[in-house]
A = this chain, B = another copy of it.
């Protein structure tokens, strides 16, 4: 594996600092310290903490969207692709919990400042909803609404499991609840007739 670049080191340190202290709580100094570089190095790569946070957000969002799109374009049945997207998102959450947490919990602060052309998971899911409505396997209704519902089925349990222990079963530790979430999400968008 190639050694991480200075920029990668800073991004990875920022993610840890944001996870630990929150976006507001983590200073550029904290991030520089954690990355083993300097504030000067940080400013060589990023204009500001906001710029760094936005880069992080875009980076992880793009990674997730690419995986979702890869699944979406395969020639498999629509509902199977949707089911794969549930698994893929839950696995991404487990593999990159800090990143997922950052994107999910900061989404409202930052998302509307992301470039207009940014692709979101809901966009790709919506294309599958439309595809499934054409072939009759997905229920009728506004495709954007149904795509949001589908996403909500996955993200809300993740959000709950990001809360302190005791609040909800912690999805990050095992796949025990994945089947429940996948079946519920598929049922939410499936056409009633089988």
Binding-face segment, A42-50, A51-59, A175-183: A175-183
Chain B residues whose CB sits within 8 angstroms of the CB of A108 once the complex forms: 105, 159
Is B105's CB under 8 angstroms from A180's CB? Answer: no
Q: Which of B140, B152, B190 contacts A156 (CB 8 A)?
A: B152
Is A184's CB under 8 angstroms from B144's CB? Answer: no
> C-beta contact mask, A124-164 vs B, less than 8 Å → 1, else 0?
00000000000000011110111011011111110110011
Is B148's CB under 8 angstroms from A180's CB? Answer: no
Is B151's CB under 8 angstroms from A156's CB? Answer: yes
Any B CB within 8 A of the CB of A185: yes
Q: Which of B142, B157, B169 contacts A180 (CB 8 A)?
A: B142
Chain B residues whose CB sits within 8 angstroms of the CB of A148 once the complex forms: 156-157, 159-160, 168
Is A181's CB under 8 angstroms from B105's CB? Answer: no
List A96-129 residues whose CB lies under 8 Å from chain B. 105, 108, 111-112, 122
Q: Chain A binding site: helix, strand, loop or mixed by DSSP?
A: helix
Of the candidates A24, A111, A159, the one having the most CB atoms from chain B within 10 angstroms of its own CB is A159
Any B CB within 8 A of the CB of A33: no
Given the contacts A139-B184, A149-B185, A183-B139, A144 and B160 also touching, CB distance less than 8 Å: yes
Determine the residue in chain B with the shortest Cβ distance to A171.
B145
Any B CB within 8 A of the CB of A188: yes
Give the B-binding residues of A (Cβ under 8 A). Answer: 24, 105, 108, 111-112, 122, 139-142, 144-146, 148-149, 151-157, 159-160, 163-164, 168-169, 176-177, 179-181, 183-185, 187-190, 192
CB-based closest 8 A-B pairs: A152-B156, A152-B152, A141-B180, A188-B188, A148-B157, A184-B188, A148-B160, A148-B156
